[in-house]
Every structure is written in C-alpha cells, then in structure tokens.
Structure 1
Amino acid sequence: MNLLALREFSYWMVHYRRNWRGTIVVNVLNPLLFLLAMGAGLGRLVDRHTGPDTLHGVTFLAFFAPGLLAAATMQNAVTVSTGSVFLAAGPGGSYRSGTAGPLGTDDVLAGHMLFMAFRIATSALCFVAALLCFPDLRTIGLLWLAPAALLTGLAFAAPLAAWSVTLENRQPMNNVFRFVIMPMYMFSGVFFPVDQIPVVLRAVVYATPLWHGTELCRGLYLGNASQAAVLGHTAYLAALTVLGLALARRTYRRRLFA
C-alpha cells in the first residue's frame, strides 16, 4: 500500500461521506430487523417444537445470529464490489480519471479494495454492536465475529471486483444476484443446518464461500468449532481472496488500458 493507493481510498471516503446514512438502513437496520423477527420471534416457536440436537444444542437465536451476519456481510460485499466498480470502470468513471493522472491500475485497485474492506468491517462491527441488545447473545464469542465476517466479505469482494470491471452492462450483475447470491443465501446454512439438505446437494453447498463464512462465524461465536475446522474455513476464504486479487490485477489492467 503506497500513498497513491491511499489517494484512491480517500476519494471513495469522500464519496461515502455524502451517502453513508442510506447504507445504514440496508447494511445494519434491515438485518437487525430480520434478526428480531426471525431469531427472537420465530425462534421461540422453533425452540419450543424442536429437540435439543436439532440446532446442535443451542437456541435458534444463537444459531441464526452469526449466520445472518455472514449472509449480511456477503450482501454488503456484493454491493460494494459490483455496481461501484462497474461505474468507476466505465467511460467517465473515476478509474479513468485516476489512471489518466499519476495513479496506476494497481493503485486504483488497492485503494478501492481498502475502501471495500472498510465498508465490510464497519458494517460488521455495527451488526456485532447491535447484537449486544440481546442479552442471550452476549458471550465472549462476539469478539471473533467481526474478523470472521471481514474475511467472508473479502472472499466475495475480491473475485466480484475482478469480474465486475470487465462488464459492459448491468444485466450480468442482476443475473448473478438472482441465480447465485440469493440461492446461496437461502441454502448455505444460515437458516438451518446443512445436514437437513439432501445429500446430493450438500457437495454444492460445501463449495460455496458463504457456507464456509457461516460455519466460521458460527463456530467461533459458539466456541464449538475444532481447530482444524477453523483453519480449513479460514484457508478457503483467504485463498479465494488472494485468487480474486490476483485476477483483479489482470482484469483491471486489461480494462483500463484497453
């Protein structure tokens, strides 16, 4: 990270200063209201009518909260790494303006990725802070949720930024959200244990980054994850982030020097 990359980061921070209030509703209030309705509301019915082994011996609220954080982080990462990258790389976008001056493509990428990490981390921290409103969720495991959520978000943001910079129109982004992100949201263990999914579909679920992020957040929060599981999920998400950054360096150079 150099001074030129920090200039790109400062540009996005100035831009964010003008519209940060709107992001609170989408990234924090919506998930929390969903948590209140599903976790504290529906969760009471689930706890009343299921056995202690159904959710691995914890309440539905404790099971659901870390999973919802991972899912909300995924959605936040998708938001900051698709539309903004698409617009910035287009004619008249900020990427073009930056690379016309002293900034190189690596500076533009590094600065924007730093801003994406900032957005993901701050949203995760706000979510974790709001979980303190629920007395039953106040455990030492909350300390691990924000780092795990940040890694989950970066595992989505880096590959999606590498892909979004190549797009000529928005339709592929809509298709990815509709046919990839939303099914992942529903079937990656956020709402119910994956072992309730048919066996033939579990291999697909186990390959998704959201499942790894959900399991990492939930295992660290509940304190029931083995060291091997934590290392495995962390390695998967870190490898996806590194691969995404490597691909982004190539796609950014191709698009901005085209």
Structure 2
Amino acid sequence: MVPSVRERARPSLPRVPALAVLNFFLVGYRRTWRAGVFSSFLLPVLTVLGFGLGVGAYIDQGVGGVRYLDWLVPGLIASTALQVAIGEATWPVFSNFQWIKTYFAQSAAPLRVGDILAGNLLFVLVRVLTTIAAFLVVTGVFGALRSPWAVAALPVAALLGLAVAAPTFAYSATVSSDSWLAMLFRFAVIPMTLFAGVFFPVESLPAALRWLAYATPLWHAVDLCRAATLGVAPQWSVAGHLLYLAAWASGGWLLARRAFGRRLVV
C-alpha cells in the first residue's frame, strides 16, 4: 500500500520518544557542563574539607562513636543530590516555559507531554548520578566510606532526585515569576538542608521540629545513605524509606504531568 503525501511528510516517532528529549538536553549540557562543576561537585568537596576535616577536628568523640567526617559525608551525598535535582527543576524548567519556549517547540514535534516530562526527568537523573558518583570517588579517597555498601547511595540519590525534582517541575510550571523560585530555595531547600540530619543528628532537635524533619524526603535519603556508607542499619526500615521517597516521586509526577499538560495542550 502506497503511503499518502501526509504520511510521507509526517516525521516518524523515535522508538522511545523520551530518550530523544534526553538526548536534546545532553547535547546542550555538553556545552555548559563546566558552569555547573563548582556548584554540583567542588562546593560539596569544599564542604567536606571545611566541615568534615576542619570542624571535625574539634569533635573528639565524633557522632555515635563515628568520626565526624565519616558521619557527615552521607548527609552531604543526599543534600548534594537534592540541590542538583532542585537546581535542574527550577530555573531551567521555568525558562523552557517562559523565556526560550523549548517545551512548546518540543510539543510541536511528534512528542507527547509525558515524553517531554520523562525525558527531562531522565536528564535530571543523569546529572544526579554523575555528580554523586564523582562525589563518592573523592570521599573514598579521604577514607570516609566505611562499607562497600556505599555504592547503594547511588540509587538512593537517584530516587531522592526524582522525589524532589518531580514536584518541583510542577511548581516551576505553574509560577508566574522566577521570584517564586528563589522563595522555594529560601523557605524549603535551605531549611531542609539545615535541619534534616545532614550536619547534626535530628534527635538533637525539639520534638516538633524533629517530626518536620522526618516529613522531608531529604531525611529519609540521609538515613539510607548513612546506613550504606557506615555499614549499619537505618533508623527506619529500608522499605519504609524507599516507599516514602517513591510516593513523593509518583505524586510529583502526577502533579507535573497535569501542570505540563495545562501549559502545553491547547
């Protein structure tokens, strides 16, 4: 059967359309990756040197019998994954809607809303995994990884990245000004980083603040990463942590899918 003129003119869909979107962002990142090296890699390493070795030198007993550097590193692994994911889910997403209109160009191609969202989230995963892999190598050189289970921090970081990036995609797709993105960092990301067990045990907080810390996805990833790098059991069950993070990721996906659909489907 001879195809019609319209069928011959219509571009064919990739076998996995989301991978085409991922490739688009990877091509762009190949030109700009140097700009993100400091914030996503060198800054956490400097934090390890400053807090882990500098402040840690004044903490003779460590934390729970563990050297402070060893105790701190898994918290920094999780918080770095959080910051990389949030960074990719705020201004870049807002820009693709408001300023450079990339999403509208992609939706004009044979791509569905779910393909665009999935491809962009895959790019966030690539950024998180490459950053955390390099971070593990560097902290391993410092001797801060006490267990071979430390490699399990990679999938934990990936799940945390999805858990925070997906709902942030929805947020960035709905706000009208980038001032709201700065407020997200000021009132959510910074407090979460300070009080979710990265730098000191959550048990040191008052009871009310402690439960707020438990409600954040970051604390669950910190507990899992700390258990992996120290070779100990987490405070909560592994399944409970993973299900909680997965709930954030799946709920965020639904919200982001709805927000993207409202903006892109006319």
- TM category, shorter: over 0.9
Matched residue, 1:224:
232
Amino acid at match of 2:231: G
Other-structure match for 2:82:
74
Q: CA deviation at 1:3?
A: 2.7
Q: Where does the alignment leave 5 or more consecutive residues of structure 2 unmatched?
A: 1-13
Aligned to 2:115: 107
Please identify, of 201-210 and 218-227, the stretch whose mean Cα deviation from structure 2 is larger.
Answer: 218-227
1:174 aligns with 2:182: yes
Matched AA of 2:19: L
**Offset, 1:138:** 5.1
Q: How many residues were matched structurally?
A: 253
Cα distance in 2 between the residues matched to 1:204 and 1:227: 16
2:36 counterpart letter in structure 1 = T
Sequence identity percentage: 39
Structure-to-structure mapping, 1:47-66, within 5 angstroms: 48=60, 50=61, 55-66=63-74
What TM-score do you get using the length of structure 2 for normalisation?
A: 0.90
Specify every segment of 5 or more residues in structure 1 that has no aligned partner in the other structure, as ranges. none
- 2:182 aligned counterpart, secondary structure: helix
For residues 183-207 of structure 1, give each alpha carbon's deviation from its aligned partner in whole angstroms, at most 9, with x where no partner exists: 1111110011111101121111110
Is the 1:64–1:190 Cα contact (8 Å) retained in structure 2?
yes
Match of 1:16 in 2: 29
2:259 maps to 1:251: yes
- Distance (whole Å) between structure 1 residues aligned to residue 195 and residue 112 of structure 2: 40
What's the RMSD between the two structures over aligned residues? 1.7
Which of structures 1 and 2 has the bigger CA Rg? 2
Partner SS, residue 135 of structure 1? coil
Give me the whole-angstrom Cα distance separating, in 1, the residues matched to 2:133 and 2:262.
35
Instruction: Quote the offset at 1:140 in angstroms.
Output: 0.9
Decide whether the 8 Å contact of 2:149 with 2:231 is kept in 1: yes
Hey, what's the Cα distance between the residues in 1 that align with 2:34 and 2:183? 28
| Partner-residue secondary structure (3-state), 2:129 | helix
Counterparts of 1:136 and 1:74, CA distance in 2? 20
CA distance in 2, matches of 1:220, 1:136: 12
Matched, 1:6 2:14: no
Q: Which amino acid aligns with 1:11?
A: F
Give the counterpart of 1:31 among 30, 41, 44.
44
- Shift of the alpha carbon at 1:228? 5.6
Distance apart, 1:178 and its partner CA: 0.5
Matched, 1:146 2:154: yes
- Structure 2 counterpart of 1:192, from 186, 197, 200: 200
Contact 1:89 1:256 (8 Å CA) reproduced: no
Superimposed CA distance per residue, residues 231-256 of structure 1 (whole angstroms, 9 cap, x where no aligned partner): 11111111111111111111110011
Q: Structure 1 length normalisation: TM-score? A: 0.93
Note if contact 1:35-1:65 (Cα within 8 Å) is conserved in structure 2.
yes
Stretches (4+) displaced over 3 A: none
